[in-house]
Amino acid sequence: MVEDRFRRLVRADPIIATGLGLHERDHELGDPSRAALLDEIAADRAHLGAVEALDPAALSPSARFERDLEIHNLRLSGYEAAEVRIWERRSFALDTVGTGLFLLFARDHAPLAERLAAIAGRLEGIPAYLEASKDRADGPQVRLWQGLEIEAAGELPSLFDELLTAGASALEPPERRRLAQAVESAKTSVVAYADWLRGTLADGTDAWPIGRERHDALVANRAFDGLDADDILALGWQQLAEEHAARTAAAREIDPDASEAEVIDRVKSDHPASFAGALDAYRDAMLRARSHLIERDLVSIPSDERIDVVETPQYLRNVMPFAAYFSPAAFDARAKGIYVVTPSVGDDPDAMREHNLASISNTSVHEAYPGHHLQLDVARRHPSLSRLLTDAPEFVEGWGMYSELMMREHGFDDDSHFRLMLHTDAIWRACRIILDVRLHRGEISVEEGTDFLVEHTSFERPNARSEVQWYTYRPTYPMSYLLGRTMLLRLRADEQSRLGTDFRLKSFHDTLLRNGSLPTSFHRRLLAGEGR
């Protein structure tokens, strides 16, 4: 049953298939229409009913665990699609197209010429794809969100040009001509789509919050180990105060005679001279962290894992203002992770301050070792399709934040300068918890949220505003980072208490990672021996 659903999903969405390393339809974009999405919602609802009808008492412990996970996945995705319905009020078409092209270009699962042929097919499909996506819109479109998509329309052609440049040396003349024609057609359709987006603004709305009731229900569907939205908001305020106190203490260690703001400014001013130098520093910090894990025997690292560190494509910079990670494709023979770093948002002249050496260290731990890259590379190896499709950012992002703290606990870059930025980043994630809840309850505006983030983190304002904007259309995701770390630390403490002298940190880490990126409540069950 699970495999039937999996096959249906990858048939319906070739971009998802590409992301997973299934390349039969790399030349297609799929059907983004309202009718196609509603068909998928109905099919998932029927699948949920069939899985719920299975008698758990008749299943083995491992099958029972997988049934519970499949039900969790379907209830969560079903609530988001059928009840929250952000897809009706915000266009994601250009972001989706960009991802479908970028993954083919950045990964090396096939020779470049072969990948560019698939890319040409997708470029040729863009006019029809954008036209079909328009009928998802229902009622007034959210001006803020449409504005982000309009910005993407201005930036996506830069990716097209990169593809064309790559084709100049990799393709024969006929294929080069095909690619050039596809690029021109795609550019024309993106311009027309941007005009359509602008046309939705006059009758648009600024009422984007999903509201307390739906936000609370979404939190409940996320299975946050028994925590509700009010518990999580209280945790956010508590962590904000604790991390501020810790950052103040680190600043005093650096210079007891300077103000905290002066010390932060000094640390942020210690950055490479150029973004190229910053990318080298990210690579160096990442590899130093990997060596540290091996030397301290903190976690197992697969012998065949691979990762690239690259500049964030232009079209993604407003939605990824700092750094991000694209996981290895589960079915690629030589899977590779991609760690992207954003030079600046809006050509901000102070952008290099966010690439200070202390932040570079912290971010590389979070994104690469033992953070997202290691975690997701190990997780992709589990044979369960339910686990492969599980959406549990509280574990994924929580593991990234847990990694930052755990590495300091074990002596990696542990002087006061690095700890100052560790606590700054934790303050940022505490702000995310608070803003996630308060923005979607309609208690504060985007501008007030930006002011709040700048006040507490000292981020450059363009980065802070870009941050808050994506919080508005990803409800319950921003809270996942520090909440997830807190839940993992509690889980570790519970395991230490349960096992006593038999507790081994490496075994704890390896058990979590090899079982996949699951909600913490499911990991708790596995650690107790259920479902293995």
Chosen domain end from 192, 208, 224: 208
Segment 136-156 shows an average pLDDT of 93
Residue 70 resides in a domain: no
Mean of all residue pLDDT scores within the chain: 94
Rounded Cα distance between 55 and 46, Å, is: 17
Same domain, 219 and 200: no
Sign of the torsion formed by the C-alpha atoms of 203, 209, 212 and 216: positive
Q: What are the pLDDT digits (tens) for 168-214?
A: 989 999 999 999 999 999 999 999 999 999 999 999 999 999 999 99
**35: CB partners within 8 A, 6+ apart:** 135
Same domain, 344 and 390: yes
Q: Which tokens go with 51?
A: 């899985």
> 353: pLDDT confidence band, cut at 50, 70 and 90?
confident
Same domain, 431 and 311: yes
Q: How many domains does the chain contain in total?
A: 2
Among residues 468, 443, 475, the alpha carbon closest in space to that of 80 is found at 475
Same domain, 248 and 196: no
- Better pLDDT: 492 or 334: 492
Residue 310 above 90 pLDDT?
Answer: no
Same domain, 124 and 192: yes
| 277-286, 380-389, 459-468: least confidently modelled range | 459-468
Q: Which tokens go with 528?
A: 């107790």
Residue 446 resides in a domain: yes
Same domain, 341 and 290: yes
Write down the pLDDT at residue 462.
86
Residue 373 resides in a domain: yes
Helix ranges (H only) for 80-206 are: 93-106, 112-133, 143-170, 173-199
Q: For residue 326, list its beta bridge partners.
A: 338
Same domain, 126 and 241: no
Angstrom distances, CA of residue 296 to CA of 121, 172, 406, 407, 487: 48, 51, 12, 10, 24
Same domain, 239 and 293: yes
Q: For residue 338, list its beta bridge partners.
A: 308, 326
Share above pLDDT 90 across residues of the chain, in percent, rounded to a whole number? 86
Rounded Cα distance between 148 and 143, Å, is: 9
Rounded Cα distance between 439 and 302, Å, is: 41
Segment 1-8 shows an average pLDDT of 97
Block residue for tokens 């505490």: 430
Chosen domain end from 208, 230, 256: 208
Write down the pLDDT at residue 315.
66
Residue 497 resides in a domain: no
Under a CB-based contact definition with an 8 Å cutoff, are residues 478 and 435 in contact?
Answer: yes
Same domain, 242 and 189: no
Q: At 6, which amino acid appears?
A: F
Same domain, 193 and 221: no
Q: What are the pLDDT digits (tens) for 404-456?
A: 999 999 999 999 999 999 999 899 999 999 999 999 999 999 999 999 999 99
Same domain, 392 and 374: yes
Among residues 360, 354, 391, 362, the alpha carbon closest in space to that of 265 is found at 354
> 532: pLDDT confidence band, cut at 50, 70 and 90?
low
Write down the pLDDT at residue 326.
86
Residue 520 resides in a domain: no
Under a CB-based contact definition with an 8 Å cutoff, are residues 126 and 168 in contact?
Answer: no
Share above pLDDT 70 across residues of the chain, in percent, rounded to a whole number? 98
Under a CB-based contact definition with an 8 Å cutoff, are residues 445 and 478 in contact?
Answer: no
- Residue 339: φ, ψ to 5°: -105, 110
Under a CB-based contact definition with an 8 Å cutoff, are residues 215 and 229 in contact?
Answer: yes
Residue 64 resides in a domain: no
Same domain, 137 and 196: yes
Residue 313 above 80 pLDDT?
Answer: no
> 354: pLDDT confidence band, cut at 50, 70 and 90?
confident
Range of the domain at 186: 2-30+85-208
Q: What are the pLDDT digits (tens) for 34-67?
A: 999 999 999 999 999 999 999 999 999 999 999 9
Residue 136 resides in a domain: yes
Q: What are the pLDDT digits (tens) for 492-523?
A: 999 999 999 999 999 999 999 999 999 999 99
| 113-122, 268-277, 310-319: least confidently modelled range | 310-319
Chosen domain end from 162, 180, 208: 208
Residue 386 resides in a domain: yes
